[in-house]
Amino acid sequence: MIKVNAIGDSCPIPVIKTKNAMKEMTGPDTIEVLVDNEIAVQNVTKMAQSSGGKVTSEKVAEKEYRILIAMGEACAAKDSEEVSCIPDKRGSTIVVVSSDRMGSGNDELGKVLMKGFLFAVTQLDELPKTMLFYNGGATLTTEGSDSLEDLKSLEAQGVEIMTCGTCLDYYGLKEKLAVGTVTNMYSIVETMDQATKVIRP
């Protein structure tokens, strides 16, 4: 694994450091990049994906984000690609998830659809500002959830992940929250009230 420490660096330095690490590769390898802000995560992710890398990211501490880039045999940084500092991808939309399944009918199908929905959110050109999880949706942010990788990637890119504390208590999952923070009903109502658009799967 090649390690790149870009904590404290402003754009475009994290991208340049990552590109240089790609050029030093002699075969398939993984690059670990550490940065301290969400915009750096977005910039490095965009460049790595355009170079053929498979990218995952997570927030590991306050102002510390870890990006893993898996590069294959034919992958390399593109010299002709212009290094640019993209703006914050988050809009003012919020996503409200009140169940661990999407739609009504077959429960197993509903769970598959919800997993697909959360992955699709990670692919949006403009990410939501906040994602709220309550009632059955609270189980999606806890240990064992099939969507944790997608939610951690969204959090690393600055999306606020908030889960209802009362709901976690009800399901006995308070100690198993694996992404985001615990919130309360007042905060949930306030967040929904201030949103310009609310998406409900």
> Coil, strand or helix: which one is 33?
strand
Q: Give the pTM.
A: 0.63
Q: Which residue has the tokens 């009230």?
A: 193
User: What is the assigned CATH class of domain 2-71?
Assistant: alpha beta
pLDDT tens profile 51-99 = 888 999 988 888 899 999 998 764 555 544 556 666 566 668 999 999 9
Across 100-105, average pLDDT: 94
**Residue whose pair of structure tokens reads 């959830």 in the numeric block:** 145
Q: Which residues pair with 133 in a beta bridge?
A: 97, 163
The pLDDT of residue 37 is: 85
Grade residue 24 by pLDDT with cuts at 50, 70 and 90.
confident
What are the distances in angstroms from CA 173 to CA 58, 131, 137, 190?
21, 18, 12, 24
What is the mean predicted confidence (pLDDT) over 107-114? Answer: 96
Could you tell me which CATH class the domain 93-199 is placed in?
Answer: alpha beta
d(C-alpha 54, C-alpha 27), whole Å: 15
11 tagged catalytic: yes
Considering the chain, what is the average pLDDT of its residues?
88
Q: 2-71 and 93-199 share one CATH topology?
A: no
Among the listed residues 151, 180, 146, 152, the one whose alpha carbon sits nearest the alpha carbon of residue 67: 152
Q: Is 123 exposed, middle or buried (0-12, 13-18, 19+ CB in 10 A)?
A: exposed
Q: What is the mean pLDDT of residues 32-57?
A: 88
Q: Render pLDDT for 159-188 as a digit per residue (tens, 0 to 9).
A: 899 999 999 999 999 999 999 999 999 999
The domains of the chain are located at 2-71, 93-199
| From 11, 75, 85, 167, active-site residue | 11
Say what the pLDDT of residue 182 is.
Answer: 94
